[in-house]
Amino acid sequence: MENEWNVLVSSLQDLYNANEVTSFGKLQLGPIDAIPAADLQSTLTTVQEHLENVRRGQRLLSTVETKLQGILDSTAHGVNLSAMAQGPPGKQYWCSDFNPTVGIDVGAEVAYKPGKPSVDGEWIQCVVQGVSPDGLKFEIVDPEPDEFGNANKTFKCNWKEIILIPPESQIKDLGEYPRSTKVLARYPETTTFYPAVVVGTNKKHRETCRLRFDGEEEVGKENASRQKPRAALSHGLVGPNTALRQEGKRCHRCL
């Protein structure tokens, strides 16, 4: 439950930042025929981006309202939300030098990719809500509402389809990514992970790294904003019976 709230709060913070970027402060709104032709397209783009942010905000707030109502209903019926039974933690399949050496408990945040396990492509941020007795199968939930406003979509998966997002308590014990390290990183203002490359670190902010996402090679397209270590996962994860390091591969700490 706590980690689901963390995801929602993070999404709301990203939404706030997005609205700051697409602020109407500099727009001179008025009759369309009064807007210079050269500015029409950029004005339309800004309005559309802001509209999408508003709609996303509505979906997030609807999810928050639903969760709060669930808590109120549970409290009214005397349900102790903190008394949830929790069995043995699940096992990690993907391993690297940058992985926290902990089990995957109920409530843990993970990156999930359905289908054939691979470190390429898109992964989505989810929360674990069930672990099988052998620790190899999981039930996870995506608390982020989709474009139709539907939230809390659940998935059943195995240990090869998820990557543990390091708990906040483990961050200080994880190594710093060297420059050119390949990672899976959460794209700004989303809960989706994509392949990226570490392009630098910040000496004043060692808890962050600078990234460039695949497909953003052009000048001005580099996403070099600070990323928390939990938002970047090492990109060359290997199985538990394989060496922890492989040439050109790593995978686990850029969420």
In the listed set 28, 50, 81, which residue is the last one of a domain according to the structure?
81
Pick from 28-37, 100-109, 145-154, 223-232: least confident: 223-232
Whether residue 200 sits in one domain with residue 105? yes
- 55 in the same domain as 13: yes
CB 213 within 8 A of CB 225: no
- In 3D, which of 64, 85, 83, 86 has the Cα closest to residue 74? 83
CA atoms of 31 and 40, how far apart (whole Å): 11
**Residues 150, 73 share a domain:** no
pLDDT at 138: 94
Residues 53 and 91 occupy one common structural domain: no
Give me the CATH number covering residue 175: 2.30.30.140
Taking the alpha carbons at both ends of the chain, their separation in whole angstroms is 19
Per-residue pLDDT tens digits for 6-41: 666 777 777 677 766 666 655 555 666 777 777 777
Q: Name the E strands within 42-191.
A: 109-112, 123-131, 137-142, 153-158, 162-164, 182-186
Check residue 59 and report its DSSP letter.
H
Helices (H), the chain: 2-21, 37-76
d(CA 36, CA 77): 61
Alpha-carbon distance of 8 to 3, in angstroms, equals: 9
Specify the DSSP class assigned to residue 196. E
Q: How far apart are CA 89 and CA 96, in angstroms?
A: 19
For residue 225, the model assigns a pLDDT of 42
Three-state DSSP class for residue 220: coil
DSSP 3-state helix, strand, coil percentages of the chain (rounded to 5)? Answer: 30, 25, 45
Cβ-defined contacts of 212-221 (< 8 Å, 24+): 213/185, 213/187
pLDDT band of residue 254 (cuts 50, 70, 90) is very low
**pLDDT tens by residue, 124-161:** 899 998 999 889 999 999 888 777 777 778 899 999 89
The most confident of the ranges 51-60, 76-85, 152-161 is: 152-161
Rounded Cα–Cα distance for residues 154 and 66 (Å) = 16
Residue 167 pLDDT: 76
**Looking at the structure, do residues 102 and 225 belong to the same domain, yes or no?**
yes
Final residue of a domain: which of 81, 105, 133? 81
**Whole-structure pTM value:** 0.58
41 with 133, same domain? no
For residues 145 and 8, what is the distance between their CA atoms, to the nearest angstrom?
Answer: 9
Domain residues for the domain of 60 are: 2-81
Q: With contact defined as beta carbons under 8 Å apart, do 101 and 245 qualify?
A: no
Highest mean pLDDT among 29-38, 51-60, 243-252: 51-60
Q: What is the pLDDT, as a whole number, of residue 184?
A: 84
